[in-house]
Structure 1
């Protein structure tokens, strides 16, 4: 029977693979247009949410959870790291034009995010399966913060580098991050969509609002969100 791809993949899996494509394209585009890359990164977040909706409707497969985890590492681990790498090398100079130690520092900061994203995904696959076990910041939240931060006009390399390091470490922190409920997901989805289609409208209102929401959820979600 071989792989029998057409029999073993569900509609939800197809949406997951679309997310992988969008995430990969975002990483490639980052080398030419960081603004477009940030918007594609946010589009990946939307596709990821659609994937979950389709899967919860009953259209899922045995391989679905693994495909979802691998795709998350691509779209919300590797792509944000490439995004940060391009942003920082544009500010500090690439390997041919910057001091070696500066370039090593840039490369390390940029790679931290994907490394901890891989670790978090592997740990979840191995050790955590209960709904109340959700330690570590979701890598998708970090991707939202990085992308909306750039679209909101935050491009200072020191701030970006420090923020990336903090978000990377948060992925393997002991704090339990909740899965946002409908009352949170719907307004966040609207802001993410607006940031994709009209990032500069009304003085960058959508990405700035989404950045504020993302930072609040990052800082206060583990402590207060569960109270709901």
Structure 2
């Protein structure tokens, strides 16, 4: 019988896999260029949105939802953790650069976001199936916050580490986060695109605006966003 990959994957799945490639590339690039890595993370968010649009247009497959969940863990869970690791090691040292206990501490702090992203995805897949139940901050929102914060000029390792830890725990919070509706996705996509292609233009306007939007959604989305969509 075989896998029959070509028959069982849809065009939406192909977009999902592109997201995985870009997310992986961002993790690799982070070790050489954090600025570019942050832009690639935001590009992954854009590709993820395109994937959702394709799926809603009937181009999904039976394996699509699982592929999407796994890819999200890669692009918005593991990659942000690698990003945080590179930022933190710049001050405290990384593997082979510092004392063993310091290395363990740096790796532990950096890995928190990936660990909670995996937990949220596993719990969400197992226990929550309805569109009305979306507990915990989406890992894509956390990835947006970390990437836009860095592009906006928030680069201090301690601030990034603490922020990542808070966002990690937020992924398993009891608050329901809705998916952004059509009226929101378009404008957000434009701002995200601006942060990707011109992050330093007009005083870092695009990443700073996106950071504000993401912070507002983080704080107010569970309570106020439903009424507007």
TM-score class, shorter-chain normalisation, is: over 0.9
Deviations 1:153-194 (A, max 9, x none): 101111111100000000001011111112221111111100
Residues in 1 aligned to 2:5 and 2:175: alpha-carbon distance in whole angstroms: 38
Q: For residue 134 of structure 1, give the secondary structure of its aligned residue in structure 2.
A: coil
The number of aligned residues is 228
Q: Give 1:227 shift.
A: 2.6
TM-score normalised by the chain length of structure 2: 0.97
Aligned partner of 2:114 in structure 1 is 114
Aligned partner of 2:140 in structure 1 is 140
Deviations 1:121-177 (A, max 9, x none): 111111001111010000000000000010001011111111000000000010111
Deviations 1:61-111 (A, max 9, x none): 100000000000000000000000011101222233334433322211110
Aligned partner of 2:10 in structure 1 is 10
Residues in 2 aligned to 1:6 and 1:185: alpha-carbon distance in whole angstroms: 30
Residues in 2 aligned to 1:28 and 1:135: alpha-carbon distance in whole angstroms: 30
Residues in 2 aligned to 1:95 and 1:78: alpha-carbon distance in whole angstroms: 17
Residues in 2 aligned to 1:47 and 1:72: alpha-carbon distance in whole angstroms: 11
Asked whether the equivalents of residues 90 and 157 of structure 2 are also in contact (C-alpha less than 8 Å), the reply is no
| Residue 43 (structure 1) aligned with residue 40 (structure 2) | no
Residues in 2 aligned to 1:185 and 1:84: alpha-carbon distance in whole angstroms: 27
Q: Could you tell me which runs of 5 or more consecutive residues in structure 1 were left unpaired when the two chains were aligned.
A: none
Asked whether the equivalents of residues 137 and 171 of structure 2 are also in contact (C-alpha less than 8 Å), the reply is yes
Residues in 1 aligned to 2:92 and 2:187: alpha-carbon distance in whole angstroms: 36
Residues in 2 aligned to 1:16 and 1:95: alpha-carbon distance in whole angstroms: 32
**Which has the higher mean CA deviation after the structures are superposed, 10-19 or 217-226?**
217-226
TM-score normalised by the chain length of structure 1: 0.97
CA RMSD of aligned residues (A): 1.0
Q: How does 1:25-104 map to 2 (within 5 A)?
A: 25-104=25-104
